[in-house]
Amino acid sequence: MMTFHPLASDIGWGSWRLCEDGSHPLERIDAAIESGFTLFDTADIYGAASAGFGAAEALLGEMLRDRPGLRDHICLATKGGIRPGVPYDSSRSHLLEALEASLRRLRVERIDLYQIHRRDWLTRPDELAATLDMMVDSGKVGAVGVSNYAPSELAALRAFARTPILTTQPEFSLWHPQPLHDGTLDDAMTQGMTVLAWSPLGGGRLAGCTDRLAEALGALAGQQGVDVAAIALSWVMAHPAGVIPIVGSQSPERIRRAADARKVRWTREDWYRLLEAAIGRRLP
């Protein structure tokens, strides 16, 4: 699978809940590495509610400090553009300051992927495109992308960007299958972008659902010899866009079990059966 970075794994590990228990992340980081998850996804806003703005990046920075050489073996991705109380700011001044702050917290000189976290409707796409060009030209960012952008918003940005927009990060799961229908995945395949799916387990809801979808997930999990989470992750990965799900679990054991998604084998019947169970109706 071609991706935006040679070290980007087929499953990523996300740090949006990294600060919830206040413990050092090394055990979870080690579980991710052992599972072959080399794409580490974070953002400057992660951890803000529990430990302060930039807290997740700072913890990852400590991990990189304490694991000399690890930086050379992972693909490091972060996001900026959300400001508490604003809420969105993609102005040039803010994003360039945000990038410098992320570099300091992560204790690195270069971020492999920098994404605009959410659309700021008060920033023109040509201004944002020029800012992204500056980031890459500076050598401090390897590649750029967007998160939570509609295809039309991405097209407007792409029209002005000299630097290729290489990734898009939508919410995508059996709980939230809208990218199948709103053009997000089709646009990514047309443009050759990598899709990074956030909340691929529906924020944990898929593991605890008790309806027709739960029955279908459980039956397939039993047939394949994996847990329900692995089935749900693999369902996302089976799409021809080559979607990379971002696993947000902070349990080392669940992180390791997520790697079983690679073992799942799909028939069209099984894939569509889960989709029909998720949307609650038969497809026409």
Look up residue 124 and give its two tokens: 């023109």
Buried b (16+ CB within 10 A) or exposed e, 50-72: ebebbbbbbbbbbbbeeeeebbe
Which helix (H) or strand (E) element contains residue 114?
Answer: strand 111-116
* DSSP string over 40-77: EE--TTTTHHHH-TTHHHHHHHHHHHHSTTGGGGSEEE
| Residues 133, 161 contacting (CB under 8 angstroms) | yes
Residue 88 annotated in active site: no
Distance, CA of 97 to CA of 276 (rounded, Å): 45
Residues near 279 by Cβ (< 8 Å), separated by ≥ 6? Answer: 177
Q: Which of 46, 114, 149, 272 is catalytic?
A: 46
The partner residues of 167 in beta bridges, in order of sequence, read: 145, 194
What is the helix (H) or strand (E) element at residue 281, kind and residue range? none
Residue 143: φ, ψ to 5°: -150, 160
Dist. CA 210–CA 214, nearest whole Å: 5
Tokens encoding 39: 């794409």
DSSP helix/strand/coil, 1 = coil
Interatomic CA distance for residues 279 and 200, integer angstroms: 16
Tokens standing for residue 187: 């646009």
**Catalytic residue positions, numbered:** 46
